[in-house]
Homo-oligomer: A and B are copies of this chain.
Amino acid sequence: MAGRKVCIVGVGKIARDQHVPAIDASPDWELAATVSRQGSVEGVPTFRDFDVMLAERDDIEVVSLCLPPQPRFQYARKALKAGRHVMLEKPPGQTLAEVHHLQRLAAEAGVTLFATWHSRMGKGVAGAKAHLAGKEVTGGRITWKEDVRHWHPGQDWVFEPGGMGVFDPGINALSILTEILPKPVHVLRADLDFPNGRQTPIAARIEFSRGVAMELDWLQTGPQTWDIEIETADGSHVVLRSGGNELWIDGERKPVADIEEYPALYARMADLVSEGRSDVDLSPLVHVADAMTLGRRNIVEPFAF
């Protein structure tokens, strides 16, 4: 049986590195077209104009949006209004209310909307969640330190309004945290470092309820750190490293799932479409909005790529 036809919109780094290989490797999917201003994928029809793709290719059921968050809403809106199922890269929008809008459109059109959080598919995440179920969390530390120059070379949009700054990686940590905790937390205090002249933070320190602290830094050269540690009232100590892909419980390394993040996202999307359901959990974006609303702003040294 041929795979379900999907169109990738936005052929940039994340599409090439993750989406295209995941689709190519899956019998569930066929990459039937791309839409991109400049990029293309060899052997796949490319459209420069999204409206033309929607008009000419009604055989394509699913649209996967890999653009930066700023233009994403207008593409998602058009796709949903054209009756296509939609997969959103993270974050699902620039604002909460625009995603609420997309949820209404998907419900009206009777199609699937999947707000993906790739880090939730980290190989150790399900094991951490299962271990924490029913336990009382008494503390935790998120340490997310990476080098923006390496991961977003020259991408000035991350420092423009809506680009999220260090919350672009930080929301990955929050997507894991909100998945594994047995009860939700909320932001109590946030310190945000804005480079002079930039519109989004480059570092942040956030204190959540239940004793959970988060440290985000986008200027980390050398080894990169994406760790989450959680302690529970019964003395358990759960550690996820490598962005959710390695799991230790009480000092012992545990076996993890053997499917990679993006193949797991596309497998989930295939299930959602088959079952006629949507999956839109905004809790990671709520934490970012709360930190940006409540946060104390410090102006730090200018940043240039």
Question: Which one of A32-40, A59-67, A219-227, A284-292 is at the interface?
Answer: A284-292
A295 on the interface (CB 8 Å rule)? yes
Q: Is A272 an interface residue (CB 8 A)?
A: no
Binding site for B on A (CB under 8 A): 94-98, 100-101, 104, 161-162, 164, 184-187, 189-190, 194, 199, 209, 283, 286-290, 292-297
Q: Which of B98, B104, B199, B290 contacts A289 (CB 8 A)?
A: B290
The residue of chain B having its C-beta at the shortest distance from the C-beta of A185 within the complex is B97
| Copies per complex of this chain | 2
Q: List 15 A-B contacts (CB under 8 A).
A: A94-B290, A96-B286, A96-B289, A97-B184, A97-B290, A98-B186, A98-B187, A98-B290, A100-B186, A101-B186, A161-B189, A161-B190, A161-B296, A162-B294, A289-B293
Assess the B292–A289 pair: CB atoms within 8 A: yes
CB closest residue in chain B, given A287? B97
Kindly list chain B residues whose C-beta atoms are within 8 Å of the C-beta of A184.
Answer: 97, 100-101, 104
Tell me, in angstroms, the Cα distance from A164 to B294 when the chains sit together: 8
